[in-house]
Amino acid sequence: MSHKLCSALFKRPTTTFLFILLFCILGFYILDSEPLNHKSNETKTHKASKPPTGFHDTFLSLSSNYTVSEYLRSLTLHPHLAGTPEGYQTAQYVKTHFESLNLETKVSEYEVLLSYPVKISLTAHFSNLGSRVIGLSEVGFDVVRPYHAYAPSGKAVGAAVFANYGREEDYRALGVNVSGSVVVVRRGEGMSRGGVVRAAEGRGAAAVLTYTEGEYVKGVERGTVMKGLGDPLSPGWGSVVEGGEKLERSDTEVEDRFPKIPSMPISFETAEAILRSLEGPQVPLEWRDALKNSNFRAGPGPTVLNFTNQVEDKNARIHDVFAVIRGSEEPDRYVLLGNHRDAWTFGAVDPNSGTAVLLDVARRYAFLMRLGWRPRRTIILCSWDAEEFGMIGSTEWVENNIMNLGSRAVAYLNVDCAVQGPGLFTSMTPQLDDLVIDITKKVQDPDAPDITIYDEWTGRNKGINIQRLSGVDSDFAPFLQHVGIPSVDMYFGKDFPVYHTAFDSYDWMSTHGDPLFRRHAAVAGLWGLLALRLADDPILPFNYSSYAMQLQEYTSILSNKLEGRISFTPIFKSVKNLLAVAQEVEEEAKELRVDGGASSDVIVLKKRMLNDRLMLAERGFLDADGLQGNRWFKHLVYGPSNKYDSNIDFFPSIANAISQSTQAKKDNQATIRHEIWRVARAIQRAADALKGDLS
Ligand SMILES: *[C@@H]1O[C@H](CO)[C@@H](O)[C@H](O)[C@H]1NC(C)=O
Ligand SMILES: *[C@@H]1O[C@H](CO)[C@@H](O)[C@H](O)[C@H]1NC(C)=O
Ligand SMILES: *[C@@H]1O[C@H](CO)[C@@H](O)[C@H](O)[C@H]1NC(C)=O
């Protein structure tokens, strides 16, 4: 087995591989020279001559663009939509890979409601050109035809009307009655597909067509229009295969997750043909970049669209695959690395660039294990299914394991589309800022040989540029927003032009996304090293002063926005308390790090007690009542809001209250004040958890 591993590595002999040769030999030497009867992993760890940081350097030296490219090629041979036989084959591929590395491997199966197209047609009646069948893009590809998962089956015949991004403000600016029309919208400005369809539905539209614009955009963007996360038939609990509770498809709680009017995606070219043909009032200036080839009119009509949508909902089996590396000292503490595996088509970028990297991190970890390394805490590599339908695989698993994750998970590290192009982009909860910054200084930039990722990242952004995790667009959402687990999301490149289309293939990746696969290797370095630090550092590398400072900034922004009409004093007070506790904790950690060498029972317990407080503080931001109208989302700092202001991607419950009172044109101060208090109490809970004292 290890011979296979080594020979696989040697197909491209470079200096890196000479190093690897050394480690292969060293690995065999250590394996061979080990006494046969080990009592436990613990003995092994204490015997290993290297400190963990030595293994961390070894991890970085095992970088290989070759292995990762081979994994990606295998994963993307066939389209592998969730719930299909080809989807199941990728689960088998990942499982076999983990097993061949001798890692403890597990598969969790769920039965969930997925949605597939049956028959879709679109005809346009142009006033000057007559009737034409349109919207038939990506013909000839052996992939699922462009559709919206969970869009209802139905027919619509109506005048075409352009509504820009489909936001409330767009309809206000448009000023026409879209009732009975087929609304065409461009994707963007943070509007979700489902949100766009619902907004049109609320105005009486008959159907919605969405398109993605961009000079290099190719193909048609598939996607889900379901609201909320996870299996719609088991909201809030895991949809176990045998004998679990399931709601009826006709239950109103299920129906509420889906739009009532049909919708589908169309290509940029189809959209242009429709938009060019419209008459009616002139559109606002800001919309005109979308209508380059037209006379800047948005309809409705005279073009009439005839759209028939037949989509089938089906119960399907999905498979999450795991590799578990048990911790030697704290096996009941988990560091999770997760990526989804299911794809709309071939998935070379989305998501299998991340899967290939996950498999490569597994290869490197298995290698370290041969050298005698065991993590201090348990590391779990997770390969999710059915993310594209609404984070279903991860959400079902999280719901099914909520007790153990809530009490034992240290961090969740997500990588979805690992490589979309050049340059690092990353988001995280703020206690992880310092650690991630530190890690970026340890990994070489994949595109410029003599600098680190940190140099390129900060150079390009003229400083540190970290995003936060209020979006619900990948598998970190259930971990952070439902269970309060500190989380990270990262990727290289942004806004790739073949998103969710038939062109997201190995060919696109090897010609455009990452021709040398060095960006893949760089993500493997960052992701794997980040997990190693979280798994091996005796004291968890969490900085809650960063969190407190970030919360203070958020509060100032909102307070200024409301021009002092409502007091934010309750939040400022609890943030101050959190900051004070965070500073005490840093002192405590410093002292324990100095004592690091001594391993008396007392010191071991002191470290464990501090680590528990560091781990659990994030859970304080959860509120049992969750977000109003969206109670599954429990986190009051990060979560989805009604996007009334795209700059405000924090404190979702307060943002929603402000948005409601703005829309109703009536200052609903009592509701806003109540939400301010709820956030203040959540921050105080985090401070109390970090302090670990009863009041
Ligand atoms: C829009 O048009 C529909 C049908 O043509 C009509 O029933 C509705 O009252 C109109 N809405 C407004 C706000 O004018
Ligand atoms: C719309 O299209 C369907 C299916 O192609 C066709 O049966 C129907 O007659 C069309 N309706 C109109 C009003 O053109
Ligand atoms: C890996 O990178 C090297 C240059 O560092 C390049 O020569 C080689 O072709 C790359 N391998 C793959 C599979 O892209």
**108, part of any domain:** no
Distance 179 CA to ligand 2 centre (A): 20
Mutate to test the pocket of ligand 3, among 517, 519, 520 (most ligand atoms within 8 A of CB): 517
pLDDT of residue 266: 96
Q: Which helix (H) or strand (E) holds 24?
A: helix 15-33
Run of H or E including 557: helix 544-561
In this predicted structure, the answer to whether residue 272 has a pLDDT above a threshold of 50 is: yes
Can 586 be counted among the known catalytic residues?
A: no
- Whether pLDDT at 20 is above 80: no
Which of these ranges, 26-30, 78-82, 290-294, 618-622, has the smallest mean pLDDT? 26-30
Given a contact cutoff of 8 angstroms between Cβ atoms, the answer to whether 337 and 485 are in contact is no
Contact 528, 59 (CB under 8 A): yes
Q: Is 359 helix (H, G, I), strand (E, B) or coil?
A: helix
Q: CA-to-CA distance for 143 and 79, rounded, in angstroms? A: 6
644 and 563 assigned to the same domain: yes
* Residue with CA at minimum distance from ligand 1 atom 13: 177
Q: Please determine, for residue 160, whether its predicted confidence score (pLDDT) is greater than 80.
A: yes
Say if residue 290 is in the same domain as residue 371: no
Q: Count the domains in the chain.
A: 3
Token pair recorded at residue 31: 């394996």
Question: Which residues are registered as beta bridge partners of 377?
Answer: 330
pLDDT for the residue numbered 30: 38
Q: How far apart are CA 687 and CA 436, in angstroms?
A: 23
pLDDT tens, position by position, 84-127: 999 999 999 999 999 999 999 999 999 999 999 999 999 999 98
Q: Which atom of ligand 1 is nearest to the CA of 177?
A: 1
Average pLDDT over residues 309-326: 97
Of 536, 569, 595, which marks where a domain is finished? 536
**Is residue 100 one of the residues assigned to a domain?**
no
**3-class secondary structure for 75-138?**
HCCCCCCCCCHHHHHHHHHHHHHHHHCCCEEEEEEEEEEEEEEEEEEEEEEECCCEEEECCCCC
H-only helix segments in 154-312: 168-174, 193-202, 252-255, 268-276
> Can you tell me the mean pLDDT for 324-352?
98
524 shares its domain with 442: yes
Other Cβ atoms closer than 10 A to 539: 17
Average pLDDT, the chain: 90
Closest listed ligand to the CA of 65: 3
Residues 183 and 240 grouped into a single domain: yes
Bridge-partner residues for 491, per DSSP?
Answer: 425
Average pLDDT over residues 482-494: 98
Q: Please tell me whether residues 302 and 356 are part of one structural domain.
A: no
Task: Please report the pLDDT score of residue 352 as a whole number.
Answer: 98
Tens digit of each residue's pLDDT (9 = 90 or more) over 33-42: 333 333 333 3
Distance CA 360, CA 484 (A): 28
From 490, 519, 536, give the residue that closes a domain. Answer: 536
488 has a pLDDT exceeding 70: yes
Read off the pLDDT of each residue in 262-282 and give the average, rounded to a whole number. 92
Answer whether 413's CB lies under 8 Å from 337's CB.
yes
Ligand 2 mutation target, pool 306, 307, 309, most atoms within 8 A of CB: 306
Are 347 and 405 spatial neighbours (Cβ–Cβ below 8 Å)? Answer: no
Q: Give the distance (Å) from ligand 3 centre to CA of residue 69.
A: 9
Residue located nearest, by CA, to atom 2 of ligand 1 = 179
Indicate whether 341 and 471 sit together in one domain.
Answer: yes
Give residue 180 CA to ligand 1 midpoint distance, Å.
9
Please provide the DSSP assignment of 273-341 as one string: HHHHT--SSBPPGGGGGGGTTS-SB--S-SSEEEEEEEEEEEEEEEEEEEEEE--SSEEEEEEEEEEE-
Q: Are residues 45 and 125 in the same domain?
A: no
Q: How confident is the model at residue 50 (pLDDT cuts 50, 70, 90)?
A: low
- Ligand at minimal distance from the CA of 158 is 2
Residue 221 inside a domain? The answer is yes
pLDDT for the residue numbered 37: 36
* Residue 510 in contact with ligand 2 by CB distance below 6 A: no
pLDDT tens track for 372-425: 999 999 999 999 999 999 999 999 999 999 999 999 999 999 999 999 999 999
Q: Give 449's pLDDT tier (boundaries 50, 70, 90).
A: confident
Query: Are residues 519 and 487 part of one domain?
Result: yes
Q: Is the domain of 341 the same as that of 479?
A: yes
We report the CATH number of the domain holding residue 686 as 1.20.930.40
| Region class of 493: left (phi > 0), else alpha (psi between -120 and 50), else beta | left
Spatial CB neighbours of 374, under 8 Å, sequence gap ≥ 6: 41, 44, 45, 48, 325, 326, 327, 328
- Domain's final residue, options 516, 536, 556: 536
pLDDT band at 215 (very low <50, low <70, confident <90, very high): confident
Do 401 and 548 lie in a common domain?
Answer: no
Closest residue by Cα to atom 14, ligand 3, is 516
Both 298 and 196 in one domain: the answer is yes
- 97, part of any domain: no
Candidate of 11, 66, 71, 509 to mutate for ligand 3, largest count of ligand atoms within 8 Å of Cβ: 66
CB 186 within 8 A of CB 263: no
What the block records as the tokens of 538 is 């005796």
Confidence band of 18 (pLDDT split at 50, 70, 90): very low
Any atom of ligand 2 within 6 Å of the Cβ of 41: no
pLDDT more than 90, % of the chain: 78
562-611 pLDDT per residue, tens? 888 899 999 999 999 999 999 999 999 999 988 655 668 889 999 999 99
In terms of residue numbers, what domain contains 444? 3-69+330-536
Closest of 415, 232, 394, 390 to residue 321, by C-alpha: 394
Q: Give me the catalytic one of 330, 387, 388, 456.
A: 387
Q: At what angle do helices 15-33 and 2-9 cross, to 10 degrees?
A: 170
Percentage above 70 pLDDT, the chain: 90
- Report if residue 346 sits inside a domain: yes
Q: Mean of the pLDDT values across residues 321-337?
A: 98
Task: Give residue 642's pLDDT.
Answer: 76
Alpha-carbon gap, residue 162 to 151, rounded angstroms: 20
Q: Residue 375 is part of a domain; what is its CATH number?
A: 3.40.630.10
Closest CA to 209 of 254, 247, 264: 264
87 belongs to a structural domain:
no
3-state helix, strand, coil in the chain (%, to 5): 45, 20, 40
Q: Do strands 409-414 and 377-384 pair parallel, antiparallel, or not at all (unpaired)?
A: unpaired
Q: 294 falls in which pLDDT band (50, 70, 90)?
A: low
The closest-lying atom of ligand 3 relative to the alpha carbon of residue 516 is 14
Say yes or no: CB of residue 177 within 6 Å of ligand 1.
yes
Does residue 320 belong to any structural domain of this protein?
no
Q: Are 466 and 426 in contact (CB under 8 A)?
A: yes
Q: Are 345 and 409 in contact (CB under 8 A)?
A: no
Domain presence at residue 273: yes
Q: Is 308 in the pocket of ligand 2 (CB under 6 A)?
A: yes
> Which residue from 272, 307, 280, 303 is spatially nearest to 126, judged by alpha carbons?
303
Determine contact, residues 191/166, Cβ cutoff 8 Å.
yes
Residue 647 and residue 579 share a domain: yes
* Domain at 247, CATH number: 3.50.30.30
Separation of alpha carbons 507 and 343, rounded Å? 16
Ligand 1 touching residue 179 (CB < 6 A): yes
Cβ contacts of 213 within 8 Å, gap of 6 or more: 186, 187, 188, 268, 271, 290
Residue 643 has pLDDT above 80, yes or no: no
Report residue 31's pLDDT band, with 50, 70 and 90 as the boundaries.
very low
- Given a cut of 60, whether residue 500 has pLDDT beyond it is yes
